[in-house]
Structures are given as structure tokens and as C-alpha cells.
Amino acid sequence: MDRCFKIFIWCLMVSQVLADDPYKCAGTQTIDPPNNISNPILYPSGWDKNHFAPQYAAGQNCSWIINVPKGMFAFFQMTANTNQSSVLKMTDSTGYVTTIDTTNMEPYFLMDPSFRVDLQANEAGEFGMRIAWYKVNPTYPTSWQVHPNSTPLTLFAGDFDNSTVIEAETRVNLLALPSTLSITDLNPYLRNTQVFDGPSINSTHVGNLHQVLRNGQRYISTGKYLTLWSLIAGYNNVGNSVILQDYFDVKDFKTYKPISCIFDFIVCDVSLDARQGTAAAIRYNPSYFFVRDISMPDTNKLSVYTDFVTDAHRLSDYTSSNSKTNTPQKFNGKYITFVLNQDQATVSMVLDGTKAAWSSAVDSRRGFFTSPNYALNSSQQDYEDRIKSFSKVSNISYTVDRSAISGAATLNVAILSSQKVVSENNYSTTNFPGGAVWAVGDTITVKYQANGAVTTGSFVSFGFDRYNSATTNNILISIVLTIWITLFR
Ligand SMILES: *[C@@H]1O[C@H](CO)[C@@H](O)[C@H](O)[C@H]1NC(C)=O
Ligand SMILES: *[C@@H]1O[C@H](CO)[C@@H](O)[C@H](O)[C@H]1NC(C)=O
Ligand SMILES: *[C@@H]1O[C@H](CO)[C@@H](O)[C@H](O)[C@H]1NC(C)=O
Ligand SMILES: *[C@@H]1O[C@H](CO)[C@@H](O)[C@H](O)[C@H]1NC(C)=O
Ligand SMILES: *[C@@H]1O[C@H](CO)[C@@H](O)[C@H](O)[C@H]1NC(C)=O
Ligand SMILES: *[C@@H]1O[C@H](CO)[C@@H](O)[C@H](O)[C@H]1NC(C)=O
Ligand SMILES: *[C@@H]1O[C@H](CO)[C@@H](O)[C@H](O)[C@H]1NC(C)=O
Ligand SMILES: *[C@@H]1O[C@H](CO)[C@@H](O)[C@H](O)[C@H]1NC(C)=O
């Protein structure tokens, strides 16, 4: 009886081992869609995707070619756990290769005519895959244009569901930003959005947004058009975006990348490397952010532009000699571009003005206030700001760019000392700003109101300096011609 029981157990174990026998797959196998594409194909057949992938045997090379007929696309997932000495890779229809160690049903969206999976199994491991084919839905493309000397265009996940065609005057420059969701990595879903080098989804398919993001570089169309198209509609909540520009505006950059600061509540450090040539990085932000600090050697210059890179849009130049006195700095506006001429620099950014310490100044501080659409003709130029000195009294000075004063627009700049106004100017077309103004106080306030006028917005540069009461002991309000490091040319 006892012996019999032991054999029973042994039999059970053997059958278990047999069922879990590592599978063999050597050679090349072709997988075609089933007649009824409502049914996905699972490999190895019989694998239940809710369980661990089955084991494959060591010492074999397996390849699968999965056909995707024209008019269809494939939604592909793998579960794999490969030993370091083995190689598992997937090659899509454009020839882009993804090497995989471990994955658990990460999504891939694949186009015709085929893709392949290669497994060089030097050691045993686990592997299973699921392929679902879908018919391509008819698309109703939307069109956008980008022009030289223009504000960039940002489009978001969801905007490509019906395909989007972008037309440039020269070529289209595309930057891909990651998902803004930080709870889980949704970036693999960027594989859903395909990039075509031409005016429709019939143009040359060059890859997907995930590849553009992973390459860490921009994509530039060969002609005037670029088409983006998401194979499966409705992934808006992935929260990724693209920045599109006419290549004319960005052609001088050796490297060019988008800035993505996902964790708004902490400081975001952005590195620029211009050792191989001019390096640029653009930040899209619907309102404003602060540069808290810049670290750079004394060999280079970092220029900052609003909207696009031309002299008229330059907000400031930073070198190692002013990068400490001229930060923190608030950058008001949707698109801010940082351009570094050589070597390397790190720009530390934050959304919260308190964390940047923007509103309190130490003596020798320099900076500027600008309208949200500065240097563009717009009626949305209003802003209001104030900065208070750490010292009881400072010599506070400012200069106003007079171009902002047109139509009904008004600009009020006041310097206060212990909450009492010591200098106040209301600039308008009947009271144009002159040169630099200074007064001894502790606070500077600015308020710009377009009052319905379309203007290029205002730019007020300011400075806080130590007040030497030995030189003068009464409050001076004067217009001086002395020029301190002005941010204008
Ligand atoms: C295709 O498969 C689905 C799901 O199994 C089924 O509901 C449908 O009836 C099948 N269609 C045809 C034409 O067999
Ligand atoms: C698998 O492919 C590799 C690389 O081509 C080769 O070196 C190796 O001998 C192959 N192994 C088997 C078992 O065929
Ligand atoms: C890979 O296989 C080798 C040899 O069987 C083994 O020693 C090693 O632990 C394996 N590595 C992993 C990560 O499983
Ligand atoms: C695509 O466009 C068509 C026609 O305008 C519309 O009916 C459809 O809802 C759109 N689909 C998506 C996913 O936006
Ligand atoms: C793409 O080509 C197919 C087949 O030639 C055609 O039916 C379809 O209208 C084309 N689509 C676009 C957007 O040009
Ligand atoms: C703003 O508009 C004025 C008047 O139309 C024009 O002279 C000026 O060039 C425009 N400026 C910009 C930056 O577009
Ligand atoms: C205050 O600063 C301005 C501009 O730098 C300078 O011209 C002026 O002499 C300074 N005044 C005092 C009292 O230091
Ligand atoms: C500036 O305008 C404000 C608001 O209209 C007014 O209270 C203030 O007295 C004016 N100051 C000067 C110096 O004109």
C-alpha cells in the first residue's frame, strides 16, 4: 500500500515534468493571421497569457516571421525572461531592432508587410507571445502648417487618431515627448503613433514616436510633409506630445531635444552638451517656469529665447560670470529655447516660484520681467510681479524696453521702501520710458496692461545693488545714463 502510494506520487511528478518540458522551436516559422482575425494567436499554442510563459529549451535558435497583410496592423505582446547569455530581439517592418531581456505583455503596434522575432537560446528561458491583427480603419486626416520664424506647434496624443498631416515651407522638424503620467510607464504606448515621411499614411513609414523618443534625437522629414497616425484611437490619456517646427528655425543646431520635466514639484535638471556643436533644448509649458540655477564653465555662453530663435526673441545670455547673479529667473511664455554654443551646461528648473526664490533678491541680483507673449503681436500680454530685497534697503534700478508702449497699453513700475512708494512711473504713449531709473528701497513692482491693444509685450530689466548710505543719505530718484549689464543689445 505504502509502496503503491509512493509510485503514484512518482507518476504524478513525471507527468508534471513532461507537461512543463521546455519546448523546442528551432528553425524559422511563419505566422499568418487566422481566417477570423477576431481570434488572436498565442504562441506556444495552448499557452494561457494569464500564466507565466512556458519554458523553452537551451541550445536552439528560433525565428518567427509574422505577416501583416496590407490593410491590417498587428497588436503584439510578449512575455519573456531570457538569460543574459541568450538573445531575444524583435525587428519591425522598418528594420528597427528592439532587444528584450524581460518583458511582461508590453504593447507593440506593427505595420505591414511583416515583423520578425529571433531567439538565440543559449540557455533555457521563458517566452510566449500574443498577436492580434486588426483591419486599418479609414482615416480622415487633419492638416497643420508650420512656418519659418514662427512659434512651434504642439500636438498631443489623441490628435493623431484620424492621422495628421504637417506641412512645412522647408522640412518638418519633429520632437517627441514622453508620457506625462508618472504612476506607471505608459511610454510603450507611443509605439501606437506611426511616423510617415510624406503627405499621407501611404508615404514611407519611418517608425513610431517611441523610437523617436528613445533615439533622443529629432526626426526631420526629407520633404515638406510629415504624417502622424495612431493605429488604435483613444489613447489620449497617455499624455504624450510632439513639438513641430519648420526646419528653417532649428537648422543651426547640431543637437536638439525637447525638455520634459514630468515631476513638477521637484527641481528638474536639464543638461546640454555642445562639445560636438551647438546644442539646443526647447521647453513647452502653458504658463511659466523658473530657472533656479545654471552651472557652466567659463568657456561657453547659454542664450535663452522665447518662441523661436532669432535676435528679437532673445531674452538673455548667460555666462559663468553672470549665471549666479542673474538667476533665479522667471520665464513667462509657452516656448523657451536654450542654446549652448560649446562645452556643457546644466540648467536647473522648477515650476514653483517659492522653490526658485524668485521673489526675494540679494544685492547684485539681476533679472527681468516679461509679458507672456513677448516679441509677438498679441493682446494677451498682461502681467504683474514684485520682488523684495533681503536687505532693508537696496539700490533698485530698472530699464524699460519702450517698444511695448503702444495703443492703450500702460506699464506701471514702482519702487517701494517699507511699503511706501519712493518711485513710481506710469508709462503710456503720452509718457514714454526714458533710460535707466533707480531709487533706494526694498521692493520693485511691475504691472503691464495691454488694455485691448495688440502689442509685443513689455520687457523690464532690473537690478538690486548694495546701497551705500555714506554716499548719500536721502532718497534719490533720478534718471541715469549709466548702463549696467543690460540685457539688451
Ligand atoms: C470570429 O470569431 C469570433 C470570436 O470567436 C466569433 O464571435 C465570430 O462569430 C467569428 N466570425 C466568423 C465569421 O466566424
Ligand atoms: C545560433 O546562432 C548563433 C549565431 O548565429 C550561432 O553562433 C549558434 O551556433 C547557433 N546555435 C545553434 C544551436 O544553432
Ligand atoms: C544564466 O544561465 C547560467 C548558466 O545556466 C546561470 O549560471 C545564471 O544564473 C543564469 N542567469 C540568470 C540571470 O538566470
Ligand atoms: C475621424 O473622423 C471621422 C470623420 O470626421 C469621425 O467620424 C471620427 O469620429 C473620427 N475618429 C476619431 C477617432 O477621431
Ligand atoms: C492609400 O492607398 C490606398 C490604396 O492605394 C488608397 O485606397 C487610399 O485612399 C490611400 N490613402 C491615402 C490617405 O492617400
Ligand atoms: C506687429 O504688428 C505691427 C503692426 O502691424 C508690425 O509693424 C510689426 O512688424 C509686428 N511685429 C511682429 C513682431 O510681428
Ligand atoms: C544705484 O544704481 C545705479 C545704477 O547702477 C547707479 O547709477 C547709482 O549711482 C546707484 N546709486 C547709489 C546711491 O549707489
Ligand atoms: C499711476 O497710476 C495709478 C493707478 O491709476 C495711480 O494710483 C498713481 O497715482 C499713478 N502714479 C503716477 C506717478 O502717476
What are the tens digits of pLDDT across the range 44-94? Answer: 998 988 888 999 999 999 999 999 999 999 999 999 999 999 999 999 999
The span from the CA of 438 to the CA of 432, in Å, is: 16
Residue 181's pLDDT band, with cuts at 50, 70 and 90, is: confident
Q: Is the peptide bond before 328 cis (omega within 30 degrees of 0)?
A: yes
Quote the cell numbers at residue 432: 514714454
Whether pLDDT at 249 is above 90: yes
Residue-range domain boundaries for the chain: 14-135, 142-249, 258-358, 359-489
Of the listed ranges 18-22, 333-337, 410-414, the least confidently predicted one is 18-22
Query: Which atom of ligand 7 is closest in space to residue 471's alpha carbon?
Result: 13
Sign, CA dihedral 167-216-296-463, equals positive
Q: How far apart are CA 49 and CA 105, in angstroms?
A: 9
Distances (CA, A) of 215 to 203, 207, 367: 22, 11, 36
Distance 426 CA to ligand 8 centre (A): 6
- Report CA dihedral (28, 33, 39, 41) to the nearest 10 degrees: 10
DSSP lists the bridge partners of residue 318 as 302
Per-residue confidence (pLDDT) for residue 184, from 0 to 100: 82
Q: Which three cell numbers stand for residue 114?
A: 511583416
What is the CB < 6 Å shell around ligand 2?
Answer: 59-61, 120
Beta carbons of 236 and 174 less than 8 angstroms apart: no
Q: What are phi and psi of 11, to 5 degrees?
A: -60, -40
Confidence of residue 471 (pLDDT cuts 50, 70, 90): low
Distance CA 233, CA 230 (A): 6
Q: Which residue has the higher pLDDT, 352 or 263?
A: 352
Ligand 3 geometric centre to CA of 83 (Å) = 6
Place 489 in a pLDDT band, splitting at 50, 70 and 90: very low
Dig out the grid coordinates for 2 from the structure: 505504502
How far, in Å, from the CA of 378 to the mean position of ligand 6? 10
Ligand 5 pocket, residue 202 CB under 6 Å: yes
Enumerate residues 6+ apart whose C-beta is below 8 A from 179: 157, 185, 186, 187, 189, 190, 238, 239, 240
For residue 484, is pLDDT > 70?
no
The CB of 35 under 6 Å from ligand 1? The reply is no
Nearest ligand 1 atom, CA 36 = 1
* C-beta of residue 92 within 8 angstroms of C-beta of residue 110: yes
Residue 140 in contact with ligand 4 by CB distance below 6 A = yes
Is the per-residue pLDDT at 242 higher than 90? yes
Q: Give the architecture-level CATH label for domain 14-135.
A: Sandwich (2.60)
Residue 477 has pLDDT above 90, yes or no: no
| Mean pLDDT across the chain | 91
Are 369 and 333 contacting, i.e. CB atoms less than 8 angstroms apart? no
Ligand 1 lined by 38 (C-beta under 6 Å): yes
Residue 20 has pLDDT above 80, yes or no: no
Q: What is residue 405's predicted lDDT score, i.e. its pLDDT? A: 86
Range in 29-38, 164-173, 394-403, 412-421 the model is least confident about: 394-403
103 CA to centre of ligand 7 in angstroms: 65
Query: Could you tell me the fold of the domain covering 258-358?
Result: Jelly Rolls (2.60.120)
Q: With a 6 A CB cut-off, is 232 part of the ligand 4 pocket? A: no
Kindly state the percentage of the chain with pLDDT values over 70.
92
Chosen CATH of 359-489 out of 2.60.120.10, 3.40.50.2300, 2.60.120.290, 3.40.630.40: 2.60.120.290
Whole-prediction pTM: 0.90
Please tell me the distance between residue 395's alpha carbon and the centre of ligand 5 in angstroms.
69
The ligand whose atoms approach the alpha carbon of 38 most closely is 1
Q: Evaluate whether 258-358 and 359-489 have a shared fold.
A: yes
Sheet containing 360-361: give its strands across.
360-361, 383-389, 443-449, 410-417, 420-427
pLDDT of residue 470: 56
Which residues touch 322 (CB under 8 Å, ≥6 apart)? 366, 485
Q: Is the CB of 39 under 6 A from ligand 1?
A: yes
Residue whose entry in the numeric block shows the C-alpha cell 500564466: 51
pLDDT of 480 over the 70 cut: no
Mean pLDDT of 177-199: 93
* Nearest-angstrom CA–CA distance, 362 and 464: 7
Which one of the ligands is nearest to 84 CA? 3
In whole angstroms, what is the distance from residue 231 CA to residue 75 CA? 9
* Ligand 4 atom, smallest distance to 162 CA: 1
* Ligand 1 centre distance from Cα of residue 35 (Å): 10
Q: Please tell me the predicted confidence (pLDDT) of residue 46.
A: 86
Please tell me the predicted confidence (pLDDT) of residue 10.
Answer: 40
Query: Which listed ligand is nearest to 86 at the C-alpha?
Result: 3
CB 93 within 8 A of CB 59: no
83 lines ligand 3 (CB under 6 A): yes
Residues 428-448 have a mean pLDDT of: 94
C-alpha cell recorded at residue 21: 518540458
pLDDT at 166 over 80: yes
SS (H, E, C) the chain: CHHHHHHHHHHHHHHHHHHCCCECCCEEEEECCCCCCCCCEEECCCCCCCCCCCEECCCEEEEEEEECCCCEEEEEEEEEECCCCCEEEEECCCCCEEEECEEEEEEEEECCCEEEEEEEECCCEEEEEEEEEEECCCCCCEEEEECCCCCCEEEECCCCCCCEEEEECCCEEEEEECCCCCCCCCHHHHHHEEEECCCCCCCCEEEEHHHHHHHCCCEECCCCEEEEEECCCCCHHHCCEEEEEEHHHHCCCCEEEEECCCCCCCCEEEEEEECCCCEEEEEECCCEEEEEEEECCCCCCEEEEECCCCHHHEEEEECCCCCCCCCCEEEECCEEEEEECCEEEEEEEECCHHHHCCCEECCCCEEEEECCCCCCCECCCCEEEEEEECCCCEEEEEEECHHHCCCCCEEEEEEEECCEEEEEEEEECCECCCCEEEEEECEEEEEEECCCCCECCCEEEEEEEECCCCCCCCCCCEEECCCCCCCCC
Residues 6+ apart with CB under 8 A from 350: 266, 267, 268, 289, 290, 292, 356
Residues of the chain above pLDDT 90, percent:
83
User: What whole-number distance in Å separates Cα of residue 210 and Cα of residue 189?
Assistant: 8
The answer to whether the CB of 161 is under 6 A from ligand 4 is: yes
The predicted structure's pLDDT at residue 264: 67
* Residue 218: closest CA among 257, 247, 250: 257
Give the residue, out of 25, 28, 56, 61, with the most ligand 2 atoms within 8 A of its beta carbon, to mutate for a pocket test: 61
Q: How sure is the predictor about 486, in pLDDT bands with cuts at 50, 70 and 90?
A: very low
pLDDT at 433 over 90: no
For residue range 372-391, what is the model confidence (pLDDT) as tens digits? 999 999 999 999 999 999 98
CB of 123 within 6 A of ligand 3: the answer is yes
Integer Rg of the chain from CA = 30
Are 157 and 247 within 8 A, CB to CB? Answer: no
What confidence score (pLDDT) does residue 21 get?
Answer: 82
Mean pLDDT of 276-304: 96
Of 2.60.120.290, 3.40.50.720, 2.70.210.12, 2.60.40.1180, the CATH number of 142-249 is 2.60.120.290
Rounded Cα–Cα distance for residues 105 and 108 (Å):
9
